[in-house]
Structure 1
């Protein structure tokens, strides 16, 4: 009976859920109403900037064109972007991001290290240059530092499934402030409302560019950002979250591959190469935020030039070189087999000689057995030393984690907030940015006093 109960609970844990259409529509309506009210405050607009937006936009376009002309030779020599269509797609992505004409929607998912089917965390980072994400940021499209909204969600049903054996356990070290604790279903509804809003499908405009990093194309000017993003999309799809049939994405791992030529380059190495300070990776909220910063860096012509990101530093092997390397490897293997066979034949020959040879053979065998015994004892000693060393490493790692935990308690203001619904999460994350009528009245009263 207990065994059947465990099987049923496991099926429930991994079963793909579905979002009720009414819940999806209500969440989208709530998110749209709150998000689009962000620019409705009474703060003074930056009129001089508004008058010169077209001029500034034209200047940014000119910078991108100049960059493309200067790097055309390097692009043609790079095997990853040697094709004209791929180069045009990359240039289109850089143009959209650098001219502040695209929304970046960065996603990251953390799964349980003992079963990758179990999602434990979801991280979001949103950069929307078309409107200010906080009060009074009119004209934020040209702000000197980007305003990025960071979100970190933990799945309530999976809170007891934590990592730490194979990857760091940084679930409680979100650098963006408050972590939301939501049920699996409500987290899916909350995320679905934002995807429906930012990736709503509109009629494709004539001359719209094709993205370099994703086969799917979007209609709204929003990019899905991630480091190896297709894995995150698959995880979220298993939670019942639906993505539009066509959308554009910026995969920062693929953009790094343009210059490094490696099959996969981790987020930490990529951030380090681009001089982006970071800490507490493997927290979904932090990873989504740092991935968005990396995308901004990789789509900035000045950063690409300073880091030589268009220059391919890998080595492409020709078919002849590959075959030669295989032949060389096979030759070495056959040589090892021949030496081993020759040694065996020599020992057999010595063993078939006269009585004196037999005595010598017996002595040699005894000596060999003694050496093997000593070797085995030495192996056991090394094993014990290795076990002691591993135990010491574990103790040191535990001490480091304890030290980090103390630092977090004293330096990091990360908090955990239990949220009961997607609607409540929407209001908590975005609604508090809108000044309430009571806040306005209190501010007015203070000024009068």
Structure 2
């Protein structure tokens, strides 16, 4: 009987050992799972995409006069810190000049002789006004003047671009957007959302796909003309956003 009691005690001891080990491992797993879950950030704010922002801005333009200012920048392909020319256009929505678009084009004097071999750019074909030759030190002054003069009397100012983040990155050395109240829209992102596409498209491709938009393909690849076409594209996208 003694040896039976010994075997019985041994079996009970092994059972207790494995039970305690399993409980310990399970406890560690619970702690580990809870820790990793605690590290996942909560999403407290709904992302508002550019297409929704555009539709909202246009719906409210009868209450808040809005100026949309497009920017296009070209930099030398061998040194992206050297800007060769800048284009800007402005369109008022909700004001008396709802159908008027104003455009500007500046060529940078220090870099006017820098030519690209692979990137398309033609600084000499601006068709919506006269090209102005300015120095690098005047870039911020010229852009700020556009925002201050055209934004006066407007409740909202919107910066527009096709691939606007890249455009603002090129300008970062010379100019920054005026304040946190400025809204930013990207016609490239709007195109992707409206056409249910994930791939980025060039401005030319976006213009081609806009059936109600007329433009001259020969005037593309000039920042002044491109800025104008970006606003034309935005107006077309605004009409489409109302149907979403």
TM-score between the two structures when normalised by the length of structure 2: 0.69
Aligned to 1:300, the other structure's residue is in SS state helix
Correspondence 1:161 to 2:97: no
Partner of 2:129: 177
Task: Describe the shift of the 1:260–1:97 C-alpha distance in structure 2 as closer, same or farther (beyond 3 A).
Answer: farther
* 2-structure distance, mates of 1:247, 1:193: 15
User: Of 170, 177, 183, which residue of structure 2 is paired with 1:248?
Assistant: 183
Post-superposition Cα deviations, 1:266-302, rounded to whole Å, max 9, x if no partner, equal: 100000000332322221101100000000110114x
User: Structure 2 CA distance, aligned partners of 1:299 and 1:285?
Assistant: 22
Match of 1:395 in 2: none
Contact 1:199 1:244 in 2 (8 A): no
CA contact (8 A) 1:106 1:225 kept: yes
Q: Distance in 2 between matches of 1:152 and 1:90?
A: 25
Counterpart position of 1:270: 206
User: Unaligned stretches of 5+ in structure 1?
Assistant: 1-82, 132-138, 203-218, 311-449
Match for residue 299 of structure 1? 238
Structure 2 gap ranges (5+)? 1-45
Match of 2:86 among 122, 146, 168: 122
> Which of 164, 167, 179 pairs up with 1:229?
164
Which residue does the alignment assign to 1:289? Answer: 228
Q: Which has the higher strand share?
A: 2
Report the alpha carbon displacement of residue 88 of structure 1 after superposing the two structures with TM.
5.5
Instruction: Give the structure with the higher percent helix.
Output: 1
Inter-partner Cα distance in structure 2 for 1:98 and 1:266: 32
State how far apart, in whole Å, the 2-side matches of 1:84 and 1:187 are: 33
Distance 1:118 1:171 in 2: 14
Residue 143 of structure 2: which of 169, 176, 191 is its match? 191
The residue correspondences of 1:42-441 to structure 2 (distance < 5 A) are: 86=49, 89-96=53-60, 101-129=65-93, 139-141=96-98, 146-163=99-116, 165-198=117-150, 220-258=155-193, 259-275=195-211, 276=213, 277-279=215-217, 280-301=219-240, 305=243, 310=244
Residue by residue over 1:126-145, the C-alpha shift from the partner in whole angstroms, topping out at 9 and shown as x without a partner, is 112466xxxxxxx434xxxx
For 1:241 and 1:89, the matched residues in 2 are separated by 22
SS, match of residue 153 in structure 1: strand
Conserved in 1, the CA contact under 8 Å of 2:158 and 2:183? yes
**SS of equivalent to 1:150:** strand
Conservation of the 8 A alpha-carbon contact between 2:65 and 2:92: no
Residues 97 and 115 from structure 1, CA distance in 2 versus in 1: closer, same or farther, beyond 3 angstroms?
Answer: farther
Provide, for residues 165-189 of structure 1, a one-character-per-residue CA deviation record: whole Å limited to 9, x for no partner: 2122311111113100011112321
- Once the 2 structures are TM-superposed, how far is the Cα of residue 124 of structure 1 from its aligned partner? 0.5
TM-score, reference length from structure 1: 0.39
SS of the residue corresponding to residue 56 of structure 2 reads: helix
